[in-house]
Every structure is written in C-alpha cells, then in structure tokens.
Structure 1
C-alpha cells in the first residue's frame, strides 16, 4: 500500500519539508563520491563525475588511471565516458540545454553538445594561459573562471563564446576566501556580476567596475545566491551564516552553526532556506534561525534546483524540497480545508458511502477553489497513486459544478503522464512540474534524444503535438555513426524510415555521414534532399563540385546558381572552371553575365575558350574605344582583328575594324603634318577638314581608301569650299 504523503514530512519552523528517495544508484562500487568532483545538470539532468586528483583514492587497476569524465543518469546508469586529453580539469558544469562544459587549467574550454562525443572548443585567452585557471562557477548560459592572479574571466553565452576579463578587485587582497556569480538575467546592467569574499568584506565585480561593500563580518568562506537572485547567503570561516539581500541593503537573519569544520557546500533550497552540507550532514537553516538536519553514512553532493535540492550519495538520489501550502492543506492530519474534504468525498464514493454527497454539499460554496487546489496539488505529488486520487477528486468536483473550464485539468493530466514517463528509473530525468514548465517540452524532448531514447521521445512528441522531424533526423545520424553495414544498406534503411515524413531534410544526416568519413553515403543521402539550397553547400564542402553545379542548375534558383559559380571560379584555374560550366547552358549564361559585370578579361577568356571569336573581338573593340591613348587604341584594334583572322569563318565586323585602324593611322599622320586634331573624326569629317585646309589631294586619296561615293564627296566639297565673292 502506498503510504500517506505526510509520513515523510519534517517541520522547519512553521513549514514542512520532505526528502524522498527517487532512485537507488546502479553504478558500481568503484564510484565513491568522496573521490570525485560532482556536477549535476539543472532540471533533473545528468550527473558528471571527474576524479579529484587532490584527494587520495584506492588503487583499482591501471584502467582507472585514464582521465575521463563520467556521465551518469540520476539512477546511476552510465550514459557516456568523456575521454580527456587537455591536462588538469579546473571546472565542470552544465548549460540549461544539458551541454557539458569542461574547463582545463590552461584555459581550454570544451562544450559537449550530446552524449556521443560531439564538441566545440575555444580558449579563454592569453591571461588564462599565462596565469592558469584555478576554479569556475557556472550558470545556465555561461560561466566565470577565476585565474591564478585573482582575476576573473567571464563567458556570457556558450553559443557565442567571447571571453571578457572583469574588473580587478577593489580591496587589497591577500586571499580570496569564497565567491559566486549573479547571472546577467538578475542584474540591472544585464552583465554577470561576481561576488568575491576578500579579507572581511565582499567585492562585487563586473566588466566595468569593482565595488567594495564595506562589510566587517568576514572572512566569508562560502558565498551563495538564491535561485531568484534576490538573497545572498554568507558563511564565515568561524561558522556563522548571514542572509542579506543581494543589493546589500537589508540583513534578514544570522545563525551560528557551531561547527568549526568548514562545510563542503553552502547553497539554497529553492528560495526558502539555506542548505549547509558537511561530509555526512545536511542542515537546513530557516529564515528565523530554525534548523532541520539529515544525516548520511557517506559523502554527499547537493545539486540546487529552482524548487529544491537533489542529493546525490553513493547509494541513492533524493530530492529535498518544501511541501507546498496547497499540499499541506489537503493532507495535513485533521485538515478541514475544502480540498481535503473533496478528497475525502472521493474515498467515501469508492466505498459507496452517502457521506460523499454530504461532503460535496458542505463545501459547495468553495467547490471551485477546491477543484483548483486538487489539480494543483497533483502537480507536486511524485507518486502516481496520489496524483490519480487528487485528479479523481477534481473530476468529482467539476462534475458537480455547472460552469467549469476543464482546460487546466486536461493539461495537468497530459503533463503528469509525461513527467511519470521521464521519471522512470530507466530514463531517470528527475523533473518536477515547476521545472518542466521552465524547461519547456521541446527541451525535454532534446534531452531524451541525447540519451538515444528515440521511441519514448517520439511517443511524447506525438502526445504533446510537437514536430517529429528532429527525432527522425537524430535517429538517422546515430544510425550513420554506429552502423557497420555498407553505405547502400544504411541509406536504404534511413530512407525507408524517413519516407513517412514528406519534405524532411536530409542535410544534417548527410553532413554527419561526411564528418564520419562516409562520403559516398553522404552523396547518396543528398539525392533525397528536397531543397537544393541545402544540398549544394554540403556538396561543395564534400568537393563534389560538378554535382553541386548540376543540382544548382536543376533548382532553377538564380541566386543559388550564382553562388556556386562564384565559389567554383575562386576555387579553380580558369581553364578548369570553364570546362566545368561549358556543357551547362544556364551556368554558362550566369558566367557570361558575371564576366560582363566584373572583368572584360574574364569575358574575353570565356568567349575564347568557347570559340566565340566574334564576341571576343567585340569585347576587345569596346575596350579599344575606351582608351584615350591613340597608339594603345590601335594596338587593341589590331588584336581584335587578329582574333577574327584566327578563325576560319568570315566575319563582316572584321573589315570595319580594319578600316578603323587604317583611319586612326592616317589621322595620326595628318595631326603630325598639319598640327591640327584629326583623331576621333569620322571619315566624312576627316575629308571635310582636309578640304577646308586646302588638302584636296589628301582628301581624294582618303575617298579612294574608304570607297566614298562620288556624290557624297561632291557634297562634302560644296559644303567645304567657300563661294567666290563678287566684286
């Protein structure tokens, strides 16, 4: 029989706390937490363990000497071994997306995006290389690293890491005792702030300045910010705890632990109380100085969550949190709240007692509130038995009400089914309702995908009416990485699996195949990609350039064709580039247009290799006309003539260019002889000018050279010679 929820409650001042055991650890006896540094991902995520080299440990064989970071579920199931080759690890943390972040002593940072080993790497910069990293503090989207010279470096966003050196400490410091970070989402400046225990005071650092808060109660060995960023817990080296506002304007409480030994951790249990952990004791310190202690036989690690604390020990994983008021009102012994009476009505109805109706009539004026309370209380209960009891009570109450919106009730039923599925020990995502709302369903599905729990991820995605494309794509990527079958078989398996989703993209799968060295498989998969814009870039990366050009041409997208042509032009020698586009008319047209806009030389080369002599000569001719120097212009025209004459075909334009050369040469001679400008005139204008300066013989010779008709020549003469004056 499922025990009553109140059996696990412990009173702290005027509220109750409960510590429930969610999982018994499956890991081997080799895992002794006192020998490890432990980091847990938020929202009930995975647990990372790395051996603490500063502590002595038992010898367990040569295989245990290898430096690895072990990733476990909350039930102690090994999810992944992260091999490590970058020296001493100084920081291990998690992002809100359950990405593992590892910081080495030399400032190297790796971000592992999944549990298959894929990572990106960057450096914290020269300062970290010169002074080394000593320790780190993480939050959901970034972290701060403390360097050996007592300077701090921050990274605000994992997806765009830009290390920034923070201000120097304002107080002359001999030693930094404890420190923590206030995430940017809680600061007025929207930049991370670092709270540093220096001497007897606290310094607050950001990228612009450092402020000494002028405290005298220190030294502070532990500094901890509450999850909502409003409260600050300060633990002194002599065992006293102060709780103040994070803006240092107000002091709320003071408590003497009476312990000489420094605690291993000082953190918050939600925003309600401070949790202090020694080697085998957890002590909750309430706002009024009240305490509640829990004792253990082995080392423990606290993983703070937004609504409680996960407790990791050698043999179990527990969750400690305040009992919500709505749950206390229902289950407290002797409670007469409407929600408690409604729950009792369900129990009476199950034994067919008429008292059920009496209970309903008793709380009739408050029935609406009682139904809401039962629905809300169900979200806080981890046991499906009590979830069903509370939802049955809500169902009974709303069936009596004439007007009641069932939306919240239906949504709660859906969410609880999801939470119960992921809390199962085989999955072991220890997620509460409040954390589920903060995490979002999409990010929960991503966590299941990272664990290769594809069937469950698919069921929950369909149940929550979310897109399923990502699950099939990630499954296919895993198939590519892990399958030992030949490329054709793997391709066929993936295509058969994905054909149920019309229009699904194969780009990520093909890129995974390429990254794994299976180029042929990548090419085969890209043939099924429906969007050329996703095919072409990867084909170019794979150096399947001709296929990329063909796909771009087949797409009919002018921008895509233009992009591929530009890439190939910059990649290959001209001759090879022209050979690639030669037999593709559309691509050739794009190259021709590109050459017209960019370079006459490129256009000439393009025409030349395509044996288009007339077009090449015309380009040279236009170039010649743009030149100011007459001799250079003539040389260009001669080159254009040569292009024509090298061809076996006859071109009418060739004769016109030869005439232009002849005219320029004659005009140049006239300018030398008569010291007048002739270059640039037409044949008719040249004849007219020669006649005007009484050079009729030259004009007649020019007429013969260019076969000027007699009538036109006479017309030019009459228009040139002055009429005789009458005496």
Structure 2
C-alpha cells in the first residue's frame, strides 16, 4: 500500500516540511561515517567520502589505507575509488559539472573530470605552498582557500586556473572564526566575496578591499549564505542564530538554540529556513523563530540543494524539503481546492460512482486552474504512484475543457519518466524537477555517461530526441581503456557499433587509444575518421608524419596541406623534409610554391634534392642578375653553368649561361683597359662600342668568342663607319 503523501509532514509555523527516505544505503557494512568527511555534488550528484585524518580509524585490512577517497552514489553504491598519493587533503568540493576538486595542504589542486581517474592539476601559488591551506569553500565554478597566515586565495575557473589573492585583513583582525563565500553571480562587483567572522563582527573581503560591518553580536562561529544570495545566517559561539540580509542592513529573525555545543554544519534548506546539524540532530529553524528537530542514532552529514537538503547517514539517504503550496492544497485533509476535488473525481470514477460527475460539474468554471495545479503538483511528488494519480486527474480535467494546450502536460509526463529512471537504485541520482530544469537534459546525459550507464543514456537521449554521438564515443573510449583484447578485435567491435551512426568522429577514440599507449589501434581507428581535419593533427601528434601528409593530400584541403608541410619543415632537416615529399607530386608542387615565396636558397635546395639541375641553375642565374658586384655575378654564373654541366643530360641553356659569364669577364677587362662602361651591354653593343673607340682587334675577338655572323659584324662595323657616296 502506497502511503498518503501527507505521511511524514511536519508543520513549521504556517508551512509544512517533509523528510522522506530516498535510499537505504548499500554501504552499511563498509562505511563508518565517523571516519569520513562527506561532500555531495550539486543537482543530486555523487557523494565523495574522504578519510578524516583528525579522527581515529578502524583497521580493516591492508587495503583500508588505500581507501582514502571514495565516490558513491546516493544509494551507497561505490562508483570509483580514487587513488590518492598527494598528502593531506584540506578542501573537498564539486563543480556544477560534477567534477571532483581536491585541495591539499601545500596548495596543489586536482580536478577529476570523470570517474575513471582522469584529472588536471594546478597550484594555488607560492603563498599557499609556503604557508599551507587550512580549509576551502566551494561554489559552482570556483572556490576560495584560507591560508594559515590569514590570507585568502581565489580560483574563479577550473579550466583556466589563475590564483588571485584577496585583500589583506587589517592588523586589528586578531581572531578569525567562521566564514562563507558569496558566488560572483550574486555580488555587485561580479567577483567572489568572503564573509568572515572577525573578533565580534563580520568583515567582507573581495579582491580590492575589506569592509567592516560593525556588528556586535559575535563572535560568529558559522556563516552561511542562502542559495539565492539574498540572506545570510550567522551562528554565534553562544548558540544564537541570526538571519540577516546579505548586505547586513536588516535583521529578519533571531533564535536561541539553548546549547553551547558547536554544530558540525550550519546550512540553508533552500531559501526558506536554516538547518543546524550536530553529531546526531538536525534542527530546522523557520523565518519567525519556530523550529523542528530530527534525531539520529549515528553521525550525519548534510548536503545542500537549491530546493532542499540531503541528509546522509550510515543506513539511509533522506531528502528534507518544504512542501510546496500547490501540493499542500491538494493533499491537505479537508481541502476544497479545485485540484483536490478533481483528484477525488478520479477516485470516484474508478469505483464508478456518480459523484465523479458531480465533482467535475462543481469545478467546471475553474477546471483549467485545477488541471494546471495537478500537473505542477506531480512535478513535486517523488512517488510514481501519486505522480500517475495527479496526471490522471489532469487528463480527466483536460478532457472536459474545450480549449486547452496539452504541451505542458506532455512535457511533464516526459520529464517524470526521465526523473524516475535516474532516481532508481542502480543510478542513484537524487534529482528533483526544479533541479532537472536547471541542470538541463544534456548535462544529465553527461552524468549518466560518466557513470558508464550507456544503455540508459542512449534510451533517454532517444526519448528526449537528443544527439547520441557523444554517448557512443564515450563508450568506445571506455572500451579502449578497459579492454585487454588485441587491437584488431577492439577496432572491429567499435567500428561495428558505430557504423550505423552517420559522420561520427573517431578522433577522440583514437586519441584515447594513443594516450593508452596503443598507437597501432589509434592508427587503425583514424582510418575511419571521415574528416581529414580531425585525422591529421592527431596523426602528427602520434608522429605518423607520412600518413598525415598522405591524408592531407587526399583531403583536397590546401590549408590543411600547408599546415602539415609547415609542421614537417620545422620538425625535420631540409634533406629529410624534401625526401618525405619527393614522391608525392601534389605535396612537391606545394613545397615548390612555398620555396618560391620564401626565397631562392630554399628553392635551390629543393631543386638540388629533387635533382632538377636546370631549374636549380635557372634560379642561380636569376639570382646572379640581381647582384650589384660584377665579380660576384660572374661567380654565380659560373656556378650555374657548372650545375648544368654536371647534369646527366645536356642542357642547351648551359652554353648561354657560360657565355654570359665570359661576356661579363671581357667587359670587366675592357672597362679596366679603356676606362669606359661596358658591363651590362649586349654582345652587339660591346662590339659596336669597341669599333667606335678604334679597337677592331678586340671587336674581332669578341666576334670570334661568341660566333657572331659575318653579316652582323659588317652591319655593326658599317654602322660605326658609314660609307660616303661619291658624286
């Protein structure tokens, strides 16, 4: 028999709260919470248990020392045992993406991106290393660490970690007590702020300065900011609880706990009330000073959520939250709200009572309101039986209405199916409707994949019409990491699984294989990558340079080919580089163009390596013509002629370059002898100028050296000495 939803409701002033058991813990025989510190990921995420080194531990065999950091689901099922070798842990937290953050005493920060042990690491800087970290406070994208010298260092992003020291406290701040942080999204400066109990007051720190709020009720041993950043609770060393605005301008309530025992935790239960937890008691304090107490036989830990509190004990996981007004109006005894009457009509209809029609007629004028209330109440009910009853009532009311949009009803049915699936014991994600809306379906799928729940992730993705590529890729990466089969078997299994997914990328899977030391498997997988732009960079990082070059040529992408060639040119010597591209005509043509753009030296080396003597000599010839020094020009021309002569096959241009060098030598000699400019003249111009200065023998020598035809020579000579006609 499913209990009535009102079972377990407790009145706190004018509202109801309920504490319901969600899971009976599977770890009962393995975990003693007296030995651990517990922190929970947001949005009903995983629990991390870290050994409390300040407490004595029971010896449970040689493996117990290795169980320093354990990750469990909310049902107490072990997800991952984190290998730990970095010393004392001073900070334990989670990011919004369910990444585990561990901060050590020396300021080393590890961010675990998944439940496979993959992590990134950075340091909080020299101050943290020199003075040591005492404790940390975390929010969605960053955290603040308190150092032993009284300074605070902030990290605002985990993907681009840049430690930033906050303002230094004044020398008058001799006693530091409890502290809390305000995330940047709730501050005017858009930077994290620290509320710090100093002496008997509270100081507010940011990156620039310190503000004293001049309170007198302290010292405050515990400080906590509400999830929406609007309210702050201050717990004094004398057992009093104050709720004030976060600008400390207004005090809303005051409560005396009646005990001087320091609580283990002081947190907010959503934005509605404050929860104070001792070793075995949780006291819920309302806004007007009322209180509810819940007692336990063992140590407990509270995990705050945006709409309630998770209570973790050794034998169960519970959820404490406010009963929403719409739920209270429907299920409260004697309720006459339209939604309550509509729900009763369903029950009457099932027993075929005519009273069902009477109920419908009674609320016909407010039927739309009743349907909306039933749909909304279903989102707050964790029990599938009552979800179905409320949705059935909404369906009945909807059938009576002539015009009513069913979109919200259909969407709620879909979401509740998803929530019930992930709340199941095997998954252990304690996710509420409001948190699901904030988390988004895509990020929920990511959480399932990180837990290796691939089948459920696929089914939910198909049900919600989300892309499934990432799930298949993550499954393939996990198979590469865990499988002990040979490379071909693994490759065939992955390709068989992924062949029905159009245009799926194999690049990430191949990179995982390479990181695992399976280069051959990585190369095999890359053969199935449809986009060369993803194949080639990984092949280069794997040092499969020739394959990368071939793939870039086959891609037909000139930018990709240029990228590969420039990478290889910087990696190899010129001789090795030219040999690599020599037998690839397309790559060779691109290299030739690159060489033309870069300069003659590279072009000459390329032609020489490719045994293209004529092209190499032609480059030298062009280079010689640009030289200012005639001697250097002659040397270059002789070098070009020699390259021609060394070729296996004769080149007709070799004689022309050789003759050009001879002409320069002769012109250089004429300039020296006759003190006139000859360099740069053609053969014909040189002969003509020699004849003009009465050097017929030199002109004849030039004629013979360059085989100038007799007719041409006579023509040049007559041009110098024109014949005079006799009259």
- TM-score, structure 2 normalization: 0.96
Q: Is the 8 A contact 1:170 1:203 kept in 2?
A: no
Matched, 1:174 2:170: no
Q: Is the 8 A contact 2:308 2:321 kept in 1?
A: yes
Residue 579 of structure 1 corresponds to 579
Residue 34 of structure 2 corresponds to 34
**Bigger shift: residues 310-319 or 24-33:** 24-33
Distance 1:633 1:212, change over 3 A: farther
Shift of 1:552: 1.5
Partner of 2:221, secondary structure, is strand
Distance 1:252 1:708, change over 3 A: farther
Residue 351 of structure 1 corresponds to 351
Distance 1:625 1:148, change over 3 A: farther
* CA distance in 2: counterparts of 1:722 and 1:236, whole angstroms: 124
Shift of 1:717: 5.4
**Bigger shift: residues 582-591 or 183-192:** 183-192
Q: Is the 8 A contact 2:155 2:164 kept in 1?
A: yes
Residue 382 of structure 2 corresponds to 382
Residue 192 of structure 1 corresponds to 192
Distance 1:716 1:525, change over 3 A: same
Shift of 1:95: 1.0
Shift of 1:7: 1.5
**Bigger shift: residues 675-684 or 503-512:** 675-684
Alignment of 1:48-447 (within 5 A): 48-66=48-66, 68-170=68-170, 172-447=172-447
Residue 472 of structure 2 corresponds to 472
Residue 636 of structure 1 corresponds to 636
Matched, 1:561 2:561: yes
Q: Is the 8 A contact 2:199 2:218 kept in 1?
A: yes
**Unpaired runs of at least 5, structure 1:** none
* CA distance in 1: counterparts of 2:688 and 2:219, whole angstroms: 106
**Bigger shift: residues 404-413 or 142-151:** 142-151
Distance 1:506 1:697, change over 3 A: same
* CA distance in 2: counterparts of 1:139 and 1:239, whole angstroms: 27
* CA distance in 1: counterparts of 2:194 and 2:262, whole angstroms: 22
Q: Is the 8 A contact 1:195 1:204 kept in 2?
A: yes
Matched, 1:490 2:494: no
Q: Is the 8 A contact 1:170 1:212 kept in 2?
A: no
Alignment RMSD: 1.9
Distance 1:657 1:34, change over 3 A: same
Q: Is the 8 A contact 1:671 1:678 kept in 2?
A: yes
Q: Is the 8 A contact 1:170 1:211 kept in 2?
A: no
Shift of 1:711: 5.1
1:529-551 deviations in whole A, cap 9, x for unaligned?
11111111222222222111111
Matched, 1:551 2:533: no
* CA distance in 2: counterparts of 1:685 and 1:438, whole angstroms: 90
* CA distance in 2: counterparts of 1:349 and 1:339, whole angstroms: 15
Shift of 1:28: 4.0
Residue 706 of structure 1 corresponds to 706
Shift of 1:215: 2.5
Q: Is the 8 A contact 2:26 2:77 kept in 1?
A: yes
1:74-94 deviations in whole A, cap 9, x for unaligned?
010000000111111111111
Q: Is the 8 A contact 1:41 1:94 kept in 2?
A: yes
Shift of 1:689: 4.4
Shift of 1:714: 5.4
1:283-325 deviations in whole A, cap 9, x for unaligned?
1111111111111111111110010111111111000111111
Matched, 1:452 2:444: no
Shift of 1:250: 2.3
Distance 1:716 1:68, change over 3 A: farther
**Bigger shift: residues 681-690 or 524-533:** 681-690
**Bigger shift: residues 371-380 or 168-177:** 168-177
**Bigger shift: residues 677-686 or 437-446:** 677-686
Matched, 1:542 2:539: no
Partner of 1:6, secondary structure, is coil
- TM-score, structure 1 normalization: 0.96
Q: Is the 8 A contact 1:171 1:212 kept in 2?
A: no
* CA distance in 2: counterparts of 1:669 and 1:656, whole angstroms: 20
Shift of 1:203: 2.2
* CA distance in 2: counterparts of 1:247 and 1:699, whole angstroms: 105
Distance 1:127 1:720, change over 3 A: farther
1:135-172 deviations in whole A, cap 9, x for unaligned?
11111111111122222222211122222222212463
Q: Is the 8 A contact 2:28 2:314 kept in 1?
A: no
Partner of 2:90, secondary structure, is strand
Partner of 1:81, secondary structure, is strand
**Bigger shift: residues 491-500 or 184-193:** 184-193
Shift of 1:701: 3.2
* CA distance in 1: counterparts of 2:253 and 2:722, whole angstroms: 118
* CA distance in 1: counterparts of 2:9 and 2:167, whole angstroms: 46
Q: Is the 8 A contact 2:28 2:315 kept in 1?
A: no
**Bigger shift: residues 338-347 or 632-641:** 632-641
Q: Is the 8 A contact 2:384 2:420 kept in 1?
A: yes
Shift of 1:615: 0.8
Residue 523 of structure 2 corresponds to 523
Q: Is the 8 A contact 1:181 1:195 kept in 2?
A: yes
Distance 1:148 1:716, change over 3 A: farther
* CA distance in 2: counterparts of 1:459 and 1:90, whole angstroms: 40
Matched, 1:503 2:512: no
Residue 668 of structure 1 corresponds to 668
Q: How many pairs were matched up?
A: 724
Q: Is the 8 A contact 1:285 1:292 kept in 2?
A: yes
1:697-723 deviations in whole A, cap 9, x for unaligned?
444433433334455555555666799
* CA distance in 1: counterparts of 2:661 and 2:213, whole angstroms: 89
**Bigger shift: residues 619-628 or 475-484:** 619-628
Distance 1:721 1:22, change over 3 A: farther
**Unpaired runs of at least 5, structure 2:** none
Shift of 1:691: 4.8
